[in-house]
Amino acid sequence: MPLASYQTSVPVVVDDAKCIADKGCTVCVDVCPLDVLRISDMTGKAFMAYDECWYCMPCEADCPTGAVTVNIPYLLR
Amino acid sequence: MAMDEIVDGLSEVSCDVLVIGGGTAGPMAALKAKLKNPKANVVLLEKANVKRSGAISMGMDGLNNAVIPGYATPEQYTKEITIANDGIVDQKAVYKYAERCYGIIEELDSFGIRFLKNENGDYAVKKVHHIGTYVLPMPNGETVKKAIYRQLRRARILISNRYMATRLLTGSDGRIAGAISVNTRTAEILVIKAKAVILCMGAAGRLGLPTSGYMFGTYENAANSGDGYAMAYHAGAALANLECFQINPLIKDYNGPACAYVAGPFGAFTANNEGARFIECDYWSGQMMLEFYNELQSGKGPVFLKLDHLHEDTISEIETTLHKVERPTRGLFHEGRNTDYRQEPIEMHISEIGFCSGHSASGVFVDDFARTTVPGLYAAGDMASVPHNYMLGAFTNGSVAGEDAMEYADNTDFAKFDAADIEKERERVLAPTRREDGIPPNQIEYKARRLVNDYLQPPKVTRKFELGQRRLGEVREDMETRMIARNAHELLRALETQSIVDCADMAAHASLYRTESRWGLYHLRTDYPEKDNENWFCHSLLSKKDGRMTSEKRAVEPYIVPIGEDEKDLYDKQRVRASA
């Protein structure tokens, strides 16, 4: 069966201007219990690659530059 | 390289003690094993990252079950848990926990974790349970994981993050031989041979589907997909009382706990739509959950967390604790809903079902040394059968497991296993990556969990369970023959889905086996509505025998702390009585 992609607004938002992933930082990607954050090949910044979030906050709490914001997933809001 | 691209690879390592799961029990088990024999190799394997993994990823606001001299005795605590768990308790393990947990508190204190003290410098313990006083707030509870992590580094524990264990290896003599794992970002296989293995893999928290419909909005850390339960099962270990589900009272749509431990001691309570208290004791038990459920179903629901009668200072203190530690997005949730504890009661609901001995009693069967029924295999924390053991139980029983496992490893050699087992498991793990076409894991997981809600959620009806088993069998067939994983991350989810379906099958099987009702809502069988002590005052043990799921009875060990006739039903009297 062919697969289709499914639109979803992701809860974790990264401020590209503050994110220093392009300088080698991987803190948010490292600490996520669900392993849903990645560094973009295109921008060099962190982003939420998979909408599988426990909105638990280590990514936001441990980010050294305050670039990460965790929102409540829309379905729960 | 494309994101999460699958890499072909297999490596093998060996160690004396392998600890799987770096949440709460696991780090303590690894630490104690290493301290017992500093020359030995201890590996701590973790699916996520030990720094922030498990139920206490962001910390914990307090100890729920601290047995502190001057406030409670091990006898009293053992009695309380025996009664709260409807008598089905091997008391030795509970008593051992109760005796040792104070030492662990002092040790955690020495790691830099603070516990609330009064003006005299004594621990400020609060009363929540029906009988005794065991709740101790942790003012800097958000530092727990960091403090433990420092100790792991100091002791030079070998930590392997982002490896998901998939199956245990057992020797021809039945002893444990190690585990097979897969890298969650590359799908490379890592085989770890070990003399002893300790499973600390948390609850099966991704079993039911939260009412919000968001698959990862579970009460338990959503990474806790029941992998430990599934692995223990496939290794032939017995699992105890899986029909004693975990169901918790939570804020509606938000996975934060509400009343008992944090707000309760300050005067908040669970209220019905008339603003009236309807349960005597907010301590989480199956009996309390049954009253909660009954109220929700009656015309007096919904059920609310009521704080608006409290003083502003008190509410602020509760709010600070609830919004800062354990689930710190909680404030954000209330902000989005425009709900304020000061203005109105907050709507509550019941959680999805799961397995978790941390709050109930469903776990891999262990004795008072955390030994499972497989020689050399241990279990601790939420996935081991010591009931109601919470975070402090995970630390304490993890410590017991670590010490005993190292002693076992020191006196044994590696068990010999069949090398073909590795190749077989590798093929099983990678099967979803070999298919060109099929069903993605998220759809199979969603369907399995939706069926869990439809058919396995209490009240438990035999006919519904039989239908549920049939439908879950169809999902299993799809999972085993058609599931597809296009990258390493999808493979992680595919493997978790397998754990979830295994746990769903176990939940159904164990529930049908016990033909009585017990533990309040946790095992409420409408076809057998009464507690039947004559036939069912026993554990039920589920295990895999000759490839098939089977259940059997196991006698409760004779009590070491006697329970009086007038005491044993104390937790049955949860409903507030109308006074004459």
- Answer whether B435 touches A (CB < 8 Å): no
- Answer whether B336 touches A (CB < 8 Å): yes
- CB-based contact B216 A75, cutoff 8 Å: no
Tokens in use for B317?
């203190």
Write out pLDDT tens, residues B206-248.
999 999 999 999 999 999 999 999 999 999 999 999 999 999 9
Q: CA-nearest residue of chain A to B205?
A: A54
- Answer whether B339 touches A (CB < 8 Å): no
Kindly report the nearest CA distance between residue B432 and chain A, in angstroms.
Answer: 15
Tokens in use for B399?
């410590």
Tell me the Ramachandran region of residue B87: left when phi exceeds 0, alpha when psi lies from -120 to 50, beta otherwise.
left
What is the C-alpha separation between B166 and B180, in angstroms, rounded?
A: 6
- Number of CB atoms found within 10 A of residue B316's CB: 13
**Band of residue B2 on the pLDDT scale cut at 50, 70, 90:** confident
Looking at residues B555-578, what average pLDDT do you find?
Answer: 85
- CB-based contact A33 B54, cutoff 8 Å: yes
pLDDT at residue B485, as a whole number: 97
The yes/no answer on whether domain A12-72 falls in CATH 3.40.50.300 is no
- Answer whether B55 touches A (CB < 8 Å): no
- Answer whether B436 touches A (CB < 8 Å): no
Query: Which of A31, A54, A71 is nearest residue B49 as measured by Cβ atoms?
Result: A31
Looking at residues B330-335, what average pLDDT do you find?
Answer: 93
Tokens in use for B187?
């799908």
Q: Tokens 């069912």, residue?
A: B536
Looking at residues B60-85, what average pLDDT do you find?
Answer: 93
- DSSP for residue B270: E
pLDDT at residue B387, as a whole number: 96
Write out pLDDT tens, residues B307-324.
999 999 999 988 888 887
Write out pLDDT tens, residues B127-160.
877 778 898 988 888 889 999 999 999 999 999 9
Tell me the Ramachandran region of residue B159: left when phi exceeds 0, alpha when psi lies from -120 to 50, beta otherwise.
beta
Averaged pLDDT score across all residues of chain B: 94
CB contact at 8 A, B255 and B210: yes
Kindly report the nearest CA distance between residue B480 and chain A, in angstroms.
Answer: 16
Cα four-point dihedral sign B516, B501, B250, B317: positive
Q: CA-nearest residue of chain A to B21?
A: A33
- CB-based contact B216 A54, cutoff 8 Å: yes
- Residues of chain A found within 8 Å of residue B222, distances taken between Cβ atoms: 33-34, 52, 54
Helix (H, G, I), strand (E, B) or coil at B425: helix
Kindly report the nearest CA distance between residue A2 and chain B, in angstroms.
Answer: 7
For an interface test with B, give the residue of A55, A68, A70, A77 to mutate (most B CBs within 10 A): A55
What is the C-alpha separation between A48 and B504, in angstroms, rounded?
A: 30
What is the C-alpha separation between B272 and B294, in angstroms, rounded?
A: 11
- Answer whether B53 touches A (CB < 8 Å): yes
Tell me the Ramachandran region of residue B333: left when phi exceeds 0, alpha when psi lies from -120 to 50, beta otherwise.
alpha
Q: In this predicted complex, what is the ipTM? A: 0.98
What is the C-alpha separation between B299 and A64, in angstroms, rounded?
A: 51
- Residues of chain B found within 8 Å of residue A75, distances taken between Cβ atoms: 212-214, 217
- Closest by CA to B238, choosing from B450, B353, B97, B90, is B90
- CB-based contact A33 B222, cutoff 8 Å: yes
Of the two residues A6 and B543, the one the predictor is more confident about is B543
Instruction: Please name the residues in contact with B107: beta carbons below 8 A apart, sequence gap of 6 or more.
Output: none
CB contact at 8 A, B441 and B492: no
What is the C-alpha separation between B469 and B508, in angstroms, rounded?
A: 7
- Residues of chain B found within 8 Å of residue A71, distances taken between Cβ atoms: 332
Cα four-point dihedral sign B284, B286, B287, B289: positive
The H-assigned helical ranges of B250-389 are 286-297, 312-324, 330-337
pLDDT at residue B260, as a whole number: 66
- Number of CB atoms found within 10 A of residue B563's CB: 17
Q: CA-nearest residue of chain A to B46?
A: A33
Looking at residues B38-52, what average pLDDT do you find?
Answer: 97
pLDDT at B266 over 90: no
What is the C-alpha separation between B88 and B473, in angstroms, rounded?
A: 31
pLDDT at residue B580, as a whole number: 42
- Residues of chain B found within 8 Å of residue A30, distances taken between Cβ atoms: 49, 51, 161
- Answer whether B1 touches A (CB < 8 Å): no
- Residues of chain A found within 8 Å of residue B437, distances taken between Cβ atoms: 1
What is the C-alpha separation between B420 and B429, in angstroms, rounded?
A: 14
Kindly report the nearest CA distance between residue A66 and chain B, in angstroms.
Answer: 16
Kindly report the nearest CA distance between residue A14 and chain B, in angstroms.
Answer: 17
pLDDT at residue B578, as a whole number: 59
Q: CA-nearest residue of chain B to A55?
A: B329
pTM greater than 0.90: yes
pLDDT at B124 over 70: yes
pLDDT at B326 over 90: no
Domain coordinates in residue numbering, chain A:
12-72
Looking at residues B516-528, what average pLDDT do you find?
Answer: 97
pLDDT at residue B126, as a whole number: 84
Looking at residues B283-309, what average pLDDT do you find?
Answer: 92
Q: Which of B2-11, B318-327, B463-472, B500-509 has the lowest mean pLDDT?
A: B318-327
Q: What angle do CA B20, B416, B366 make, to 5 degrees?
A: 40
